[in-house]
Amino acid sequence: MQLPEPYFTRVFKPVLFILLLSPALYYGVAFWQDQLGANPLEAIIRGLGDWGLRILLITLLVSPLRRVLNWPQVLRTRRMLGLFAYFYVVLHLLGYLWFDQFFDWEEIWFDILERPFITVGMIAFVLLTPLAITSTKGMIRRLGKKWKHLHTLIYPASILAVLHFWWMVKLDKREPLIYAFILAILLGERLFRKVRSTKRYTSLRRH
């Protein structure tokens, strides 16, 4: 599969950009129009967290999609997707710091240490930060092979993000279970390919 180049850069990517921005616009407008229910700030924090996680998983879908559809162009959406995932996570974190904790740093520190779901959320955020910082073309060039290695941090970050949601929910675990299932498929496929290629390599060396 291959989209004509002008169509990919002038239509596909801008449409994807607008789609990725639309949840943020939705929450902005809905808040403005007072349509977010009895606890709008909680709805915003949760909604931003949901979108951060969803887009993170979509980012992980890009490389299997390239193989399945034989569509190399799709790799060129990965940076945009990853940065949007980070964008939503940063807004989600800001929402928590501001609306939940009113920037009370002592309370925030206590929360990070005392509530496991906040601890793992924070670690996931910390792991994603160098990925966002090193996403520019200059950084990719400068870091060379190390860049690829560094960007494998997306795997533990995604696992911790799902765990964060899993531990946050006390009773009905159905929604985090769906995310966990999708993540297990995305990571399982990678692991399977890695094991297969290592086996092939060792059997080639033996013969």
CA distance 44 to 23: 10
**44 Cβ contact list (under 8 Å, min separation 6):** 27, 31, 36, 95, 99
Q: Which is nearer to ligand HEM, 40 or 64 (CB)?
A: 40
| Sole window of 89-97, 136-144, 188-196, 198-206 interacting with ligand HEM (rule: CB under 6 A) | 89-97
Which listed residue (23, 49, 77, 182) binds ligand HEM by CB under 6 A?
Answer: 49
Give the single-character DSSP code of 196: H
| Residue-wise DSSP of 125-181 | HHHHHHHHHTTSHHHHHHHTHHHHHHGGGHHHHHHHHHHHHHHH-SS--HHHHHHHH
58 contributes a contact to ligand HEM by CB under 6 A? no
The first and second tokens of residue 203, run together, are 């059997």
Site size toward ligand HEM (CB under 6 A) is 24
CA distance 160 to 121: 7
122 contributes a contact to ligand HEM by CB under 6 A? yes
46 contributes a contact to ligand HEM by CB under 6 A? yes
124 contributes a contact to ligand HEM by CB under 6 A? yes
Q: How far is the CB of 34 from ligand HEM (least distance, A)?
A: 18
- Contact residues toward ligand HEM (CB under 6 A) are 42, 45-46, 49-50, 52-53, 56, 89, 92-93, 96, 100, 118, 121-122, 124-125, 128, 157, 161, 164-165, 168
